C-alpha cells in the first residue's frame, strides 16, 4: 500500500510498489519509429475526444485529457486558433501535463499516447 499517498511501502512484493515501479519505467521509455507508425495507423480513424477552445489549456481540460488517456490510451485532440506557435505550445503543455507522448500533429489535430499501466489496451510492436 502507499503510505501517506506518496511513498510506496518497502515490501518488495507489495502490489502498489510494483505498480508504482511499472508506471515510472513506462513513462521513461519513449516510442520508437515503428511504434509511432503503428499508432498513427490506429489513430487515423479516431474522432477527436478533447477539443481545446479559444481559452487554451486549462487545469480542467488537463484533467479531462488525463481521464481520456486512461480510458483510451490513444486519443486525438483538436486545437483552436490560427497561430502555429500557440498550437505548438498547447501541444507541448498537454503532453507534459498529461505525461503523454505526441504521436502525430497535423494542422489543428494532435494524437497522444499514454500506456495505462493498470489495464493496457493496445499492444505495441517492438
Report the predicted TM-score, pTM, of the whole model to 2 decimal places. Answer: 0.76
Q: Does residue 37 lie within any of the structural domains? A: yes
- Residue 78 CA: distances (Å) to CA of 81, 101, 117, 119: 10, 16, 25, 26
* 3 state DSSP class of 99: coil
Classify residue 55: in a domain, yes or no: yes
Question: Is residue 126 a part of any domain in this protein?
Answer: no
Number of domains composing the chain? 1
Query: If you ran DSSP here, which 8-state letter would residue 51 be given?
Result: E
- The helix/strand/coil state of 16 is helix
Task: Confirm whether 78 is domain-assigned.
Answer: yes
Phi-psi region of 57 (alpha: psi -120 to 50; beta: other; left: phi over 0): beta
The CATH code of the domain that includes 88 is 3.30.110.60
Alpha-carbon distance of 46 to 109, in angstroms, equals 11
Domain-embedded: residue 13: no
| Structural domain includes residue 22 | no
> Residue 39: inside a domain, yes or no?
yes
Taking only the tens place, the pLDDT of each residue in 26-46 is 454 688 999 999 999 999 999
Examine residue 57 and state whether it is found in any structural domain, yes or no.
yes
Tens-digit pLDDT profile for residues 59-90: 999 999 999 999 999 999 999 988 999 999 99
Residue 67 structural domain: 32-113
- The pLDDT value recorded for residue 119 is 87
Burial of 8 (0-12, 13-18, 19+ CB in 10 A): middle
Amino acid at each position: 500500500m502507499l503510505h501517506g499517498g506518496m511513498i510506496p511501502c518497502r515490501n518488495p512484493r507489495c502490489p502498489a510498489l510494483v505498480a508504482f515501479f511499472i508506471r515510472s519505467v513506462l513513462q521513461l521509455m519513449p516510442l520508437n519509429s515503428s511504434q509511432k507508425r503503428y499508432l498513427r495507423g490506429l489513430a487515423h480513424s479516431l474522432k477527436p475526444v478533447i477539443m481545446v477552445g479559444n481559452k487554451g489549456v486549462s487545469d480542467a481540460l488537463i484533467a479531462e485529457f488525463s481521464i481520456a488517456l486512461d480510458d483510451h490510451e490513444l486519443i486525438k485532440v483538436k486545437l483552436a486558433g490560427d497561430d502555429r506557435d500557440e498550437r505548438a505550445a498547447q501541444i507541448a503543455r498537454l503532453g507534459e501535463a498529461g505525461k503523454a507522448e505526441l504521436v502525430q500533429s497535423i494542422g489543428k489535430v494532435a494524437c497522444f499516447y499514454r500506456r495505462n499501466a493498470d489495464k493496457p489496451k493496445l499492444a505495441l510492436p517492438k
